[in-house]
């Protein structure tokens, strides 16, 4: 086998391997993992057609021809609902969600006449496509599949960006909530399937583009299987409360019953809790934990922080942590930067450095040296 055949074969094997692992791996968010497993198995199935064609194995296994065609219609729905379940593990699927499977089912039904053909006829039809005699139908089908997939990818990308943007509204530390693999996954899909769309359009005018298409696509998909499979395997479980999910979805203040008087009362209690008990020094502090201490809903507390105080939860907590750390850096020169970070509620030195530079414009070590040199 040549390079393309080896890479594609390994991609298929790895996709099935990752799929089985995700289907049976023991994690809290079981439903999200099942969807992820099905997605990687779909990846593997989708490129078997290229391997059959590239190695001429379709002559030996004619009944595998076009088995992968309907699978492309599963990529978008599986990835989109995986992104939803990763954040909201209690998402309730309704009958409307099954409508997303209609393109896949329709493609299966349309392919049944071909699947029932004798082996010789299947081989003949594939050879006609290879020679350029019959390329209109596969081109139209391929373009429709990719356009449908793009719609789901863009929808997923918008959702993930909203999640990442709104994380600062509910958590004081976000480095442990890793949504980067989802975001990079959407970017990878946009690049790969965008390239597929370009090659298909070129195929309309140049018959030889089919050869370029059949070599480029399986290699790129195989690379995605390896890279994204590893990243997904390293993905930690993410747990959000129902109120936090509303905030992440951008629905946090819908139908709010918070009055101006109540808002001022909550604000006063919150500032007393922060400045008196120094609740911000708790590394596990969150919008939910503070709302419990104040006996108010997380939704109302978030609204007070955003609208009455004029800050995000992230900035409110970390701003006070940084002020505390500045005092320690000046008064406790024997403390290491890491020790100061931990004392002030940060989980890591990198998170502390990032927050400190955001609020002061300099690094903690630079601030400490300047303070000691000036005798502040």
Q: What's residue 102's pLDDT?
A: 92
Average pLDDT over the chain reads: 82
Give me the residue spans of the domains in the chain: 3-241, 244-374
Report residue 276 as tokens. 């008196």
254 pLDDT band (50/70/90 cuts)? low
- Nearest Cα residue to 185 out of 86, 48, 326, 289: 86
Cα-flanking dihedrals φ and ψ of residue 101, to 5°?
-90, -5
Q: Which residue has the tokens 């049944």?
A: 112
pLDDT tens, position by position, 74-129: 988 998 998 888 878 778 888 889 999 999 999 899 889 888 888 888 888 777 76
What is the predicted pLDDT for the residue at 150? 86
Of 11 and 1, the structure prediction assigns the larger pLDDT to 11
* HEC letters along 127-153: HHHHHCCCCHHHHHHHHHHHHHHHHHH
**pLDDT tens figures, 175-204:** 656 667 777 777 877 888 788 778 877 877
Does the pLDDT value for residue 206 go beyond 80? no
* Class of CATH domain 3-241: mainly alpha
DSSP per-residue letters across 149-175: HHHHHHHHHHHHHHHHHHGGGTBS--T
pLDDT at site 40: 93
DSSP for residue 70: G
Rounded Cα gap, residues 158 and 177, in angstroms: 18
- Of the candidates 12, 2, 10, the one whose C-alpha atom is nearest the C-alpha of residue 49 is 12
Q: How far apart are the first and last CA of the chain?
A: 71
Q: Which pLDDT belongs to residue 16?
A: 93
Condensed to tens digits (0 to 9), the pLDDT of residues 255-294 reads 567 778 888 888 899 988 888 888 889 888 888 888 888 8
State the Cα angle at 365 between 363 and 370, rounded to 5°. Answer: 95
Residue 215 has pLDDT above 90, yes or no: no
Is a pLDDT exceeding 70 seen at residue 133? no
Reported CATH class of domain 244-374: mainly alpha
Asked if residue 73 lies in contact with residue 148, where contact means CB atoms within 8 angstroms, the answer is yes
**What residues form DSSP beta bridges with 286?**
171
According to DSSP H, which parts of the chain are helical? 3-24, 30-46, 48-54, 72-87, 102-115, 119-131, 136-166, 180-205, 209-234, 242-248, 260-277, 287-294, 298-303, 313-331, 337-343, 349-360, 364-374
Structural contact between residues 99 and 160, judged by C-beta atoms closer than 8 angstroms? no
Other beta carbons within 10 angstroms of residue 65's beta carbon come to 22
Close Cβ partners of 214 (under 8 Å, ≥ 6 residues apart): 50, 53, 54
Q: Rounded distance, CA 369 to CA 200, Å? A: 60
pTM above 0.85, yes or no: no
Q: Please give the average per-residue pLDDT across 208-219, as a whole number.
A: 79
Question: Average pLDDT for residues 322-350, to the nearest whole number?
Answer: 88
**How far apart, in whole angstroms, are the C-alpha atoms of residue 73 and residue 71?**
5
CB 114 within 8 A of CB 129: no
User: Residue 246 — very low, low, confident or very high, per pLDDT cuts 50/70/90?
Assistant: low
Taking the C-alpha atoms of residue 61 and residue 57, their distance in angstroms, rounded to an integer, is 6
Q: What is the pLDDT of residue 114?
A: 86
């Amino acid at each position: 086998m040549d390079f393309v055949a080896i890479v594609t074969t390994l991609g298929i094997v790895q996709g099935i391997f990752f799929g089985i692992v995700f289907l049976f791996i023991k994690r809290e968010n079981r439903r999200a993992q099942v969807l992820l497993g099905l997605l990687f198995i779909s990846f593997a199935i989708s490129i078997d057609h290229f391997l059959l064609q590239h190695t001429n194995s379709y002559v030996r296994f004619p009944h595998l021809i076009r088995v992968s065609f309907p699978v492309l219609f599963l990529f978008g729905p599986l990835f989109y609902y995986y992104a939803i379940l990763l954040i909201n593990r209690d998402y309730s699927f309704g009958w409307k969600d099954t409508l997303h499977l209609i393109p896949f089912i329709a493609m299966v039904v349309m392919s049944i006449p071909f699947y029932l053909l004798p082996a010789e006829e299947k081989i003949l039809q594939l050879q006609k496509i290879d020679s350029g005699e019959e390329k209109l139908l596969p081109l139209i089908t391929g373009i429709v599949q990719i356009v449908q997939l793009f719609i789901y990818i863009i929808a997923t990308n918008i959702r993930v960006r909203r999640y990442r943007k709104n994380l600062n509204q509910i958590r004081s530390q976000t480095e442990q909530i890793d949504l980067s693999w989802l975001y990079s996954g959407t970017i990878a899909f946009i690049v790969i399937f965008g390239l597929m769309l370009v090659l298909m359009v070129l195929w309309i005018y140049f018959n030889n583009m089919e050869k370029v298409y059949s070599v480029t696509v399986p290699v790129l998909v195989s690379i995605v299987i390896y890279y994204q499979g590893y990243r997904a395997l390293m993905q930690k479980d993410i747990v959000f409360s129902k109120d936090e999910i509303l905030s992440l979805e951008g629905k946090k203040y819908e139908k709010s019953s918070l009055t101006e008087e109540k808002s001022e009362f909550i604000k006063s209690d919150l500032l007393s809790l922060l400045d008196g008990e120094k609740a911000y020094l708790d590394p596990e502090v969150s919008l939910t934990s503070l709302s419990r201490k104040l006996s108010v809903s997380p939704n109302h507390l978030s609204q007070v922080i955003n609208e009455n105080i004029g800050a995000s939860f992230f900035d409110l907590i970390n701003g006070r942590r940084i002020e505390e750390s500045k005092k320690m850096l000046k008064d406790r020169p024997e403390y290491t930067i890491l020790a100061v970070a931990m004392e002030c509620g940060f989980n890591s030195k990198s998170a502390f450095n990032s927050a400190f530079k955001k609020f002061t414009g300099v690094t903690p070590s630079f601030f400490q040296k300047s303070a000691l040199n000036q005798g502040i």
